[in-house]
Amino acid sequence: MTATPLPRPPFDPELEAVLGEMADVAPLTFTADMIPAVRANPPYQPTGEDFAAMGVTVRDVTIAGHRGLDILVSVITREGHQGLGPGIYHTHGGGMVTGDRFAGIQHVIPWVVDHDAVLVTVEYRLAPEFPDPYPVEDCYAGLLWMAGHAAELGVDPARILIAGASAGGGLAAGTALLARDRKGPPLIGQVLIYPMLDDRDRTVSSGQFDGVGVWDRQSNRMGWTALLGERRGTDDVSVYAAPARAADLSGCRRRSSTAVPRRSSGTRTSPTRAPCGRPVSRPNCMCGPAASTASTSPHPTRLSRTPWQPHGTPGWRGSSAPDTASLSGGRRCGGRERPVPGLPHGKFGSARGRRVLQSAGSRRRQAGPLAGAVSPHPSVIAASRQ
């Protein structure tokens, strides 16, 4: 921790109060020795029942990942899906060291139901056991598989979108760069949600969020060190591992990213307020030149019109959704979100959606007043109790 952290924008008052309570329960900084316990306590693990209640079907497929080794992908479709629809390729978050292909999936499934899209989510191998380039190369292998099997999956190959949050956002950006440079599958766009893009640890927000908030500077260093080892912060890091290093973004389709719920560290290109005017005052977004906030896109990510809810809150729909014109082949829905039975929606979510997410969470987490309520990595609390 730095001796004198840089002045930072304030947290939302309600959020700051909860962060204080969380700090009394468990350390908010994620350290390497916590990785095993966090992996053993995933914050959200949907069951077949949960998926059925959401109106989707799931099947797992084993494919060849980096160096030909097996990895898993899951194909998620709306019940009764027929013909060709848009494709969403999902790379999960977890700081490069935790998570699986279902991490954060409850925030993406509404896109599947709304747009009759086909979702492929990849279980890339995690650092530090599998350091760079394994994670991004596994992700690229999954994208190649999706595009190569588009017809049998019911995917329109001209409408494949890549999306990911946190580490998944960085891997999505790196995968898009690989697809461009290797002349791989064309992408209609990227949805990068508080992406982890820059390993160099020299941005303003890195100094502002040192020892404060969740996923602070020390947590971020841990994740990048697990991925890159001694190469972190040196010139020996590729743009595919840390896409903020990319100087040439030509040939990359439009990028949409949200600064909510984390503050961007890409201060050169990121505004200090979200498009709705709400101050952006969350810990490191690790946004950089490769993909900053929603203002970088001519068709920015549609942000929720409802008050922000913390990541992991049952019923939270998420702060971003893909451009409806892209997914619907040019047809917009008038800028209004439609309630989807059994899915989280708006500020509180449907009653059925809340029950689905709450029941899934309660089966997989230790009970507690704060478990899974606020932190992007709520299993840190469970890990501290081991």
The answer to pTM > 0.85 is: no
Q: In what side-by-side order are the strands of the sheet with 56-64? A: 56-64, 70-78, 118-123, 85-91, 155-165, 189-193, 255-258
The segments of the chain whose pLDDT lies below 70 read 1-3, 253-386
pLDDT score at 20: 87
Q: What is the CA radius of gyration of the chain?
A: 19
The residues facing 295 across adjacent strands are: none
pLDDT score at 318: 36
pLDDT score at 334: 34
Question: 60, exposed or middle or buried, with CB in 10 Å at 0-12, 13-18, 19+?
Answer: exposed
Read off the pLDDT of residues 36-57 as tens digits, 9 standing for 90 and up: 999 998 877 899 999 999 999 9
